Amino acid sequence: MRGKQTFGFALFALLVMPALSGCFGASDAVSDLFEKPGVPGGLTLACLDGSTYTKLVVEIDYETGYKPESSSTDMLVERLNQVCDKPNGVEIKFELTEFGHEGSWTAQDVRDKAWDSKAQDPRKSSTLTWQIIFPANTYEDDNVLGVAVDASTIAIFGDSVDDAAGFFSRPSAEEVENSVLVHEAGHLLGLVNLVYTSPADHEDSDNKGHSNNEESVMYWAIESRSVGSFISGDLPTEFDQDDLDDLTGLLSGDIESSNQLWRP
């Protein structure tokens, strides 16, 4: 709780609540061009379980000037290794990519351009591949720092991440990026309640799909541009115990999962 201003959160909520709707773009407008892109969380079991998909590749497609900090991708690998059983490892592959997109992005733009640039299918032999694009320009709602748009695809908007840094760089743009990257990956893991219903009461009632615990990286405010203005202390970068318990329950089958593209 240190360094956090309770009154700030109340104001924060009023300011950014409408902005967060773009955060996990589960959509019924999924393109027919590709086989089962699924919903965010649709490859949760494929990640958690290590029997069939023994390796996870995270493809990072970035435009010139938008490559993420190595601290962000290192942290992402660490967090994914913590929860996904991947005996052959979690590997980052960087691809300098020009998306050829003008202006701001919609969730459908992210789907279209990301799938155009995927180096390989999300599931191929024993490798699961998730993709994170780092394009120029902002989301259509420029308060949104990142979106997870289907079972394997995320976009992070670097210009908005830079704008989200707090006064005197507390938090810094790098720290915001660290947290947003893990947060969006958490959505691909189905957090919170995207493809299941948690036995724990930790989904924020006003911000569906998010944690109500400000110590969790899945806290609802993490992906908003205003985050740096209201949290002057450390941003969360880790899944909390409820998040971890959900993932454990999903893998064991104690928690029923829906919309899975693959099951063990």
Query: Which residues would be at the binding site for Zn ion (CB under 5 A)?
Result: 23, 223
The torsion angles phi and psi of 153, rounded to 5 degrees, stand at -130, 130
Of 128 and 144, CB closest to Zn ion:
144
Q: Tell the smallest beta-carbon distance from residue 24 to Zn ion (Å).
A: 5
Q: In terms of CB distance, is 223 or 246 closer to Zn ion?
A: 223
Specify the residue, 203 or 223, whose C-beta has the smaller distance to Zn ion.
Answer: 223
Nearer to Zn ion, 61 or 203 (CB): 203
Nearest-CA neighbor of 46 among 131, 129, 114, 154?
129
| Cβ-based nearer residue to Zn ion, 63 or 223 | 223
What's the CA dihedral at 28, 34, 35, 36 to 10 degrees? -30
Cβ contact 12:4 at 8 Å: no
**Is 66 or 220 the residue whose CB approaches Zn ion more closely?**
220
Closest CA to 20 of 187, 239, 220: 220
**Least Å distance between CB 156 and Zn ion?**
12
Least distance in Å: CB of 237 to Zn ion?
14
Q: How far is the CB of 216 from Zn ion (least distance, A)?
A: 11
- Please report how close the Cβ of residue 233 comes to Zn ion at its closest, in angstroms: 20
